[in-house]
Amino acid sequence: MIKKGLFLLLMGMIVFACSEDESTNPDESDDAFDRKAMLVNWADNIIVPSYTAFNTEAKNLETVINNFTENPSVETLQQTRLTWRESYLTFQHVSMFEIGRAEALNYRNRVNVYPTNTSEVDNLIAEGNYDLSLPSTIDAQGFPAIDYMLNGLAVTNEEIVAFYTTNGNAQNYKDYLNTLAETISTLTETVLNDWNNGYRDTFVDNTSSSASGSVDKLANDYVFYYEKALRAGKVGIPAGVFSNEPLPEKVEAFYKEDISKQLAIEALQATQNFFEGKHFNSATKGESFKTYLAYLNTIKNGENLGNLITAQFETAKTNLQGLNDNFSLQIENDNTKMLNTYNELQRNVILMKVDMLQAMDISVDYVDADGD
Amino acid sequence: MKKLLYPAVVMSLILASCSSDDEAGDVQQDVDVPTNYSFERGGETTVQFPGQTTRLQMSTELIGSFNNFDTATEESLLNMFAHVEGANDFENTDLNASGKNIKSKTAASADYFSANATESAEIKADFESYISDQVNIVFPNENTIAEPGVAGQIADGSSVRYVNEKGVELNQVFAKGLIGALLTDQILNNYLSTSVLDEASNRENNDNQILDGDNNYTTMEHKWDEAYGYLYGDPSIPTENPNSVLNESDDRLLFNYLGRVDGDEDFEGLAEDVFTAFKTGRAAIVAGDYELRDEQVAIIKENISKTIAVRAVYYLQAGKEAIANNDMGGAFHDLSEGFGFMYSLRFTNNTNTGAPYVSPSELETFKTQLLEGNGFWDVTPETLDTISETMASAFGFTVAEAAN
């Protein structure tokens, strides 16, 4: 509350400062930046292509998992893991777009809440009767639950495969794994179809600069994702920033062990790409937060804010690259590096959530959860 | 300004105010307010409140059992509420051995309920109904998605909330309501009541150091400590220096929210004010200075009452924001907490009137407004604003101060 209070105070001072400006330059408050061009670039060159790519990956994962459950072996298990990793990486490119149908479906939470609740997974498998649309099953599905089922059921590959072959409940294990993959695939297709069947137009036409406008909403979703899911979820929480002790078991892909860094870098690159308007899987760039800031000519500490944010993305990325592939090991062996990385990620929270949103006259629409 | 209220300053304020009052002056100069809540006689502490700690632990375990879908029953939860000595109602076996329970002290203060058995019974029945409805209405719909008119579960981000058919999370209403009906009522309207502190020959005995049976305290000292225990009695809070764990203790009842309100810069210093008043009042009792004691009572009553009101407004406003963002799960959680704190306003005490800051009949109207029709599913922002503004203005703060 203190932070929020300070923020409001700051906001108040800024509003006051702005109103002074307005008296000398009354036309400045509503800028003439082409919001529509930015929305079109976001939708057509980033969001829809990302979902399209991930939808293909998700379908592929469903097929490969289906094949694994029909022919369980160490070999098919290893193939499945590779596909799971590829699709998990691509998912990092859509996770930030929790808007429209994705928001209504609670999409990000259904696909990637971790750590997964292994006792809940075990229970549901034992019962053989579940409804993954229930919010209470959110921590028993998605990529983290598949991680547990492919990597965490036992120590050796042979022992894991045995759950799908000789285990007395093998059919339930197969069914649950298939349902997990099918659920990710169905959810993703639902979101993608919505974009392709009308939502894209709704989204790009809603150029209002109010809280309900597409720019304001997606900016909030984006910053929320960066702050909560990326900075806190992937790095801060396991490093113990929000608890008394580090929590190395809370890293992403805990059971796979060696891809938590890769996932975090992919996610950071995806958020940077979006900030810079970079088309999915292409070097071309279009209208973006960064070009918007350039248009507004927002200067902080004598530098263009957009350039500062890009530079900070690079610094954070360099820090991430210096960490162990397995964040759990990094935390256990030298958590200082993990905390330093968190600090670098945090700097862009300030630059984007405070400086950028203020420059664009966008109000933050979320508050820190109460925690009880 | 509030931060200046450190003990030394308080002392000098006391001394300064005394100088104009020659008669009382000599006595008041003897009031020695310690840094910590630490009082001894013959080298041993005089501070004890095990009964309060027991009831806080019972409350915490009962609240934590509300969502034990597989093990809790209506009977098991009601038995925790009205525990009988020796019954195996709690996981914590020390609690089972205790002859104390929650129900007998719910809406049971000397000032508000000693001659108001009807309302006391109604309030106890409210809490029992939260338990019964949880088991009979929410439990059967554990695996149903909540809808207007249908109990069940609803997502709140990556959490899940279980609500009744009106969107009410009964465990939250129970917990936040109990902060008023048990803790606040016992502190403000019972143990800090003149009728309790000065009952029978308490003053005379206190003046003459006549101790309470075999105990190391006078009855008046003990009554004061029992008030203290309802606020600071959670085992994770150090008795002598509770604010050292402000916002860091395991307490999830009144002390927790005292910390939350103190963390809002509009109310910063409130937790220190309350603690300073508690130890100053206790020191005044030791010194036999009842005027000074009663000044501290007034400070405690005002600030604890305000704590409840600030949280009531805070949560109703948070719920309003969440509804605007289409986050119904988050909204129901906030509104349920807000409803519980609003319920607790019944037990606040305005020392100017000796009554709650908002009248019980007005609170009833608010409850009806929030719960009519499909309850939280269709409550309007206007209703939430009107109720928030009425509550805030009764306490002299603004909705904006509480909401941020």
Q: Are A32 and A128 in contact (CB under 8 A)?
A: no
- The yes-or-no verdict on residue B27 having pLDDT over 70 is no
Residue B6's pLDDT band (boundaries 50, 70, 90)?
very low
Distance CA A207, CA A327 (A): 41
Identify whether the C-beta of residue A29 lies closer than 8 Å to the C-beta of residue A361: yes
- Position A12 pLDDT exceeds 90: no
Segment B28-56 mean pLDDT: 93
| A131 neighbourhood in chain B, CB within 8 Å | 143
Contacts of B264 in chain A (CB under 8 A): 1-2, 5
Whether residue A338 contacts residue A253, with contact meaning beta carbons closer than 8 Å, is answered with: no
Report the distance separating Cα A352 and Cα B60, nearest Å: 41
- Which tokens hold the place of B69? 């879908």
Give the count of beta carbons closer than 10 Å to the beta carbon of residue B84. 11
Q: Give me the interface pTM, i.e. the ipTM.
A: 0.72
* Cβ–Cβ below 8 Å for A367 and B321: yes
| Band of residue A277 on the pLDDT scale cut at 50, 70, 90 | very high
Decide if domain A208-372 falls under CATH 2.40.400.10. Answer: no
Is B105 part of a structural domain of the chain? Answer: no
Average pLDDT over residues B380-395: 98
Q: Are residues B301 and B315 in the same domain?
A: no
User: Could you tell me if B183 and B230 are in contact, meaning their C-beta atoms sit under 8 angstroms apart?
Assistant: yes
For residues A284 and B23, the model is more confident at: A284
B345-354: per-residue pLDDT in tens? 999 999 999 9
Interface contact A1-B155, CB threshold 8 A: no
pLDDT tens for residues A342-368?
999 999 999 999 999 999 999 998 876
A80, A146 contact by CB (below 8 A): no
Helix pair B74-81, B50-64: axis angle to 10 deg: 160
pLDDT at B11 over 80: no
Q: What pLDDT was estimated at residue A368?
A: 66
Examine the domain organization and report whether B253 and B395 are in the same domain. no
Residue with the larger pLDDT of the pair B21 and A195: A195
Average pLDDT over residues A112-118: 97
Tell whether B397 is covered by a domain: yes
Question: Residue B207 and residue B228: Cα distance in Å, rounded?
Answer: 21
Residue B404: both structure tokens together: 């941020």
pLDDT in tens, B251-261: 999 999 999 99
Question: Are both B293 and B396 inside the same structural domain?
Answer: no
Indicate if B143 and B215 belong to the same structural domain: no
* B31 contacts B287 by C-beta, under 8 angstroms: yes
For residue A248, the 8-state DSSP code is G
Say how many CA atoms lie within 13 Å of A183 toward its Cβ: 27
| pLDDT score for B60 | 97
Which residues span the domain enclosing B338? 70-92+132-173+309-403
Give the confidence band of B293 by pLDDT, cuts at 50, 70, 90.
very high
Inter-residue contact A220 to A289 (CB < 8 Å): no
CATH of A48-200, one of 3.40.50.170, 3.40.50.10440, 1.20.1420.20, 1.10.340.30: 1.20.1420.20
Do A48-200 and A208-372 share a fold?
A: yes
Residue B376: both structure tokens together: 């939280």
| A139 contacts in chain B (CB < 8 Å) | 158
* Contact (CB<8Å) B143/A8: no
Residue scoring higher pLDDT (A12 or B289)? B289
- The separation between CA B30 and the C-alpha centre of its own chain, rounded to angstroms, equals 32
User: For residues A364 and B14, what is the distance between their CA atoms, to the nearest angstrom?
Assistant: 47
Structure tokens at B93: 């076996």
Question: Coil, helix or strand for A63?
Answer: helix
State the average pLDDT over residues B126-140.
Answer: 98
pLDDT of residue B30: 75
Q: Would you state the structure tokens that stand for residue B276, as one six-digit string?
A: 């300073």
pLDDT in tens, A164-208: 999 999 999 999 999 999 999 999 999 999 999 999 999 999 999
Instruction: Please report, rounded to a whole number, the percentage of residues in chain B having pLDDT higher than 70.
Output: 93
Q: Do the chains contact at A370 and B318, CB–CB below 8 Å?
A: yes
Residue B266, both tokens = 């509009």
pLDDT at A7 over 60: no
Q: Which residues of A105-117 are buried (b: 16+ CB within 10 A; e: fewer)?
A: bbbbbbbbbbbbb
Q: Indicate whether B122 belongs to any domain.
A: no
Interface test with A, best of B265, B311, B314 (most A CBs within 10 A): B265
Residue B252 to residue A372, Cβ atoms within 8 A? yes
pTM of structure? 0.83
Phi, psi of B193, deg, nearest 5: -75, 140
Q: Residue A372: its pLDDT value, please?
A: 53
Find the mean pLDDT for residues B174-185. Answer: 98
Domain boundary among B256, B281, B306: B306
Final residue of a domain: which of B248, B273, B306? Answer: B306
Chain-chain contact of B160 with A365 (C-beta, under 8 angstroms): no
Count of domains in chain B? 2
Residues B189 and B301 in one domain: yes
pLDDT at B13: 43
Helix (H, G, I), strand (E, B) or coil at A154: coil
Is pLDDT at A11 greater than 50 in this prediction? Answer: no
How many pairs of residues across A and B have Cβ atoms under 8 Å apart?
55
CB A187 within 8 A of CB A105: yes
pLDDT for position A137: 96
Mean pLDDT for the stretch of residues B162-190 = 98
- If asked whether residues B86 and B28 sit together in one domain, one would say no
The Cα–Cα gap between B139 and B54 comes to: 28
Q: Are residues B268 and B315 in the same domain?
A: no
Residue A24 is predicted with a pLDDT of 33
Instruction: Give the Cα separation of B288 and B209 in Å (integer).
Output: 10
pLDDT digits (tens, 9 = 90+) for B40-53: 999 999 999 999 99
Same structural domain, B186 and B302: yes
3-state secondary structure (DSSP) of residue B112: helix
Q: Say if CB B242 and CB B261 are below 8 A apart.
A: no
For residue A58, pLDDT over 80 is answered with: yes
CB atoms within 10 A of CB A318: 11
Domain final residue pick, B254, B278, B306:
B306
Q: Specify whether the CB–CB gap between A203 and A214 falls below 8 A.
A: yes
Question: Per-residue pLDDT tens for B192-246?
Answer: 999 999 999 999 999 999 999 999 999 999 999 999 999 999 999 999 999 999 9
Q: Report d(CA B297, CA B278) in Å as an integer.
A: 8
Q: Do A5 and B157 touch (CB under 8 A)?
A: no
Identify residues of B whose CB sits under 8 angstroms from chain A CBs: 142-143, 145, 153-161, 252, 256, 260, 263-266, 318, 321, 325-326, 329, 334, 337, 404
